[in-house]
Amino acid sequence: MIDWERVARELDAEGGALIEGLMPREDCEALAALYPQGAPFRSRVLMERHGFGRGEYKYFDYPLPERLAGLREQMYARLAPIANRWNEAMGIEARYPAAHAEFIARCHAAGQTRPTPLLLHYGEGDYNCLHQDLYGEHVFPLQLVILLSEPGRDFTGGEFVMTEQRPRMQSRPLVLPLRQGDAAVIAVHHRPVQGARGVYRVNLRHGVSRVRSGRRYTAGIIFHDAT
Ligand SMILES: O=C(O)CCC(=O)C(=O)O
Ligand SMILES: [Fe+2]
């Protein structure tokens, strides 16, 4: 059982929350084992080529693997009220429908038709530069990252990190200590913060520190589709 009140509280306070044991080990390993295959994916990105870091990732094609499709739908339904509350606080007009299918229909109508869930693979020396996963006008402001490998056993290093850039202040670092099967729910690009004179927006980025040894796999679930 996920304590959604805690998740909402941590997201409000930190811009990121941990959900422990979201995915059983067997499912993590089955998902990571898809990586070398061709069929479930629409494209492969070598991060070094784009200055994104080092390592690679593959975007899934539709239909998504059942486990991911299910999680995308279910987690969206829980996160949409938080996303709506955040937008309201930030004075952003967009509101998210209760069902993911309805939000995806909106993305597709705007030309954002390509699926964004992905599998990432890092070997020794690989890392992922701080970034934001924006893929068009329509943005769902929260996303999910699931660690498929076990730190200490499968890899060392490779910490999941975030930075929060506050207006006219120094950036705040945040580390989410994931273990195999844990998920990080994170802000995609910004979140509201209550200040003395009203609500302001802080800007967030996420990335992965250098993997020191072994192999690290993650699955990313982004709720908007891409142009
Ligand atoms: O590998 C990671 O932990 C980060 C993955 C990521 O950037 C994403 O899923 O958007
Ligand atoms: Fe990302």
Domains of the chain: 4-222 (2.60.120.620)
Q: Please state, in angstroms and rounded to a whole number, the distance separating the CA atoms of residues 211 and 56.
A: 13
Per-residue model confidence (pLDDT) at position 80? 98
Instruction: Give the residues across from 43 on adjacent strands.
Output: 59
112 in contact with ligand 1, CB cutoff 6 A: no
pLDDT tier, 183 (very low <50, low <70, confident <90, very high otherwise): very high
Please give the Cα distance from 110 to 93 (Å, whole number): 17
Residues whose CB falls within 8 Å of the CB of residue 167, separated by 6 or more in sequence, listed in order: 200, 201, 202
User: How far does the centroid of ligand 2 lie from the alpha carbon of residue 57, in Å?
Assistant: 10
* For the chain, percent of residues with pLDDT exceeding 90: 97
Mean pLDDT of 82-107: 97
Stretch 202-213: mean pLDDT: 98
pLDDT of residue 206: 98
Asked if pLDDT for residue 167 goes beyond 90, the answer is no
Neighbours of 174 (CB within 10 A): 17
| Band of residue 23 on the pLDDT scale cut at 50, 70, 90 | very high
**8 Å CB contact between 176 and 73:** no
Residue 120 CA, closest ligand 1 atom number: 1
Tell me the mean pLDDT in the region 206-214. Answer: 98
Tell me, what's the pLDDT at 21?
98
The mean per-residue pLDDT over the stretch 164-183 comes to 95
Tell me the mean pLDDT in the region 113-131.
98
Looking at the predicted structure, is the pLDDT value of residue 95 above 90? yes
pLDDT at 22 over 90: yes
Task: Report DSSP state, residue 226.
Answer: B
**Which tokens go with 15?**
């811009």
For residues 5, 21, 41 and 124, what is the CA-based torsion angle, rounded to 10 degrees? 120
Å from CA of 196 to ligand 1 middle: 33
Closest residue CA from atom 8 of ligand 1: 220
Average pLDDT of the residues in 83-88: 98
Cβ neighbours for 67, distance < 8 A, ≥ 6 positions apart:
23, 27, 30, 31
Give me the mean pLDDT over the 182-201 stretch: 96
